[in-house]
Chains A and B, each alone.
Chain A
Amino acid sequence: MGFLSTIVNWLLGLGSSLLVMIVLIILGLIFRVGFAKALRGGITTGVGLAGLFLVVNLIINALQPAVAEMATRFGISKTFVDVNWADAGIAWGWPGVAALIVTLLIVNVLMVVLKLTKTLWTDVWSYWHGSALAGFVWALTGGSIFWGVTAGVLYLVLGSLMSDLTAKKYQEFNDMPGIGVPCGTTVQASLFAMPVVWLLDRIPGIKDWDASPEGIKKRFGIVGEPGVLGFILGVIIGIFAYGTTSGDLGLTKILGLGMNVAVMMMVLPRMVSIIAEGIVPITMSIVQYMRERFKDRELYVAVDCAVLLGHPAVMASSVILFPLLVLLAAVLPGVQMLPIASLAVVPFWAGAVVPYTKGNVVKTVIVLLLYAIPFMYFSTLTVDAHTATFQMMGQYGDQISQGLKLASWDMGGDILGFFIQKLFGLFG
């Protein structure tokens, strides 16, 4: 026992990049992808994870002084730094990730065999939502991998049930028979949309109001490009923070912040993509294996939420939502995070809502304005657990001890995740 805990402690001390490398190599060998592929996958994911944390560090250093300055000058208390998909770093870097993957695979197969779900969840990448939540619960319970994995699996099981409810609609609208999308905050957006769209369809005036997605894309499409959006938001925050700083220094700081936020908006998803590049080839063999096993059943094979982004109304709604959501977060009392990086999740929500609004831009925007409100409050309420998770993973310890708070919509503001955090917080 002592020997085992020595090994475990040594592994945890390696830091998340090396840990995930070793975990993936072992998983790759279990799934029989061959040593070369396993090694390449492990190293690639380790690199992506390290890169992700580097980018987040850059943005903390750029944004934190700016939001602090805004607070002292105008009393605007929006001081949490938005790190959004840095949560993917928690998901793949927290010590229980391997246990979570294996447990969910087993639970999912059991549920399919017992006909409790039609969703065959072979898209291991999209476990990350549940794995990030598991990481938060791990931190909340003072480092319990058991409670972390349990919470993550619960979240993902509920996700596959939600996927059962939405799969047909996704398939029809996107013309993709056989798929299901169990991804975290995406599939919840569909459930949220159902009653709201029903209601909107009964309000005269809104019922038939629409805007042309092509027209919007032509005029405002450039705002939908992450770099441009980031630069603009960075400059606006910069003006509030440094607008009265004298002369050239103020301007330099404003433009500098714009560039740094643009860097984050473009590079953060790229780093997440490198993490995926390592994980996906290793887990592909499970997909094949499980599919052959159940080929006679009518099942929904889980795919990533990215497949829902094809309709032109998705980006059109998103570019309208970006400024509206920032404004809403700025004026709502008690909300302490201005969304920047988190805006990147909005198109994925829109992709889940347009099948229900039949591609209507106006309705999609209304649904998502309402949907985002709980995210704004929950991301504020969960900030301590969220920040503590990064700290427990050995990231940003110095800044956190000086009062830095890290928040996100996806997964920090997740509605279902919030309640699961509250529940499992009781065990800590």
Chain B
Amino acid sequence: MGKLIVVACGAGINTSTIAEDSIRERMVKEGFADVEVKRILMADIEGFLTRTDLVMIVSMMKIFRTFNVPVIQGMPFLIGSQAEKDVLLDKIVDVVKKV
């Protein structure tokens, strides 16, 4: 079964595009063919929570609630150095591998 990572932001226009791009690039590099990276609006998240292939939420803003899948704060994609980005991407790769 495929694995789904959702990248959630407030507008689904700009910030999530940046993170989606970086994550997708890394997934290709790792050779994960079955990982889907999808950019969504935080307002639309309910519909994705019930999907059985959802493995992780990357959030581009502070969320004031909890979820039953791992949540990663994606802010370093916007303002972090290359090293900070790599740490974050390693974390994402770890989660994907474990599932």
Contacts and interface: CB of A to CB of B under 8 A. Distances in A.
A407 B75 CA distance: 34
Contacts of B82: 288, 292
A175 B64 CA distance: 11
Nearest to A277: B17
Interface stretch (B29-37, B55-63, B91-99): B55-63
Contacts of A179: 75, 78-79
A75 to B, nearest CB: 38
A280 B81 contact: no
B86 to A, nearest CB: 12
Contact of A303 (B21, B62, B78): B78
A347 interface: yes
A99 interface: no
Contacts, number: 95
A225 B62 CA distance: 20
B17 to A, nearest CB: 5
Nearest to B76: A178
Residue of A280, A305, A308, A351 most packed against chain B (CB within 10 A) = A280
By secondary structure, the B interface counts as mixed
A347 B9 CA distance: 13
Interface stretch (A149-157, A250-258, A268-276, A323-331): A268-276
B81 to A, nearest CB: 6
Given A295-B81, A301-B79, A309-B42, A176 B62 contact: yes
A309 B61 contact: yes
A351 B36 CA distance: 30
Contacts of A277: 17
A321 B31 CA distance: 47
Interface stretch (A195-203, A310-318, A363-371): A310-318
Contacts of A311: 62, 64
Given A174-B61, A273-B17, A281-B21, A306 B79 contact: no
A273 B30 CA distance: 27
A284 interface: yes
Given A291-B81, A303-B78, 15 more contacts: A174-B62, A176-B61, A178-B79, A269-B12, A269-B13, A281-B21, A284-B21, A288-B82, A305-B10, A307-B9, A307-B61, A308-B10, A309-B42, A311-B62, A351-B10
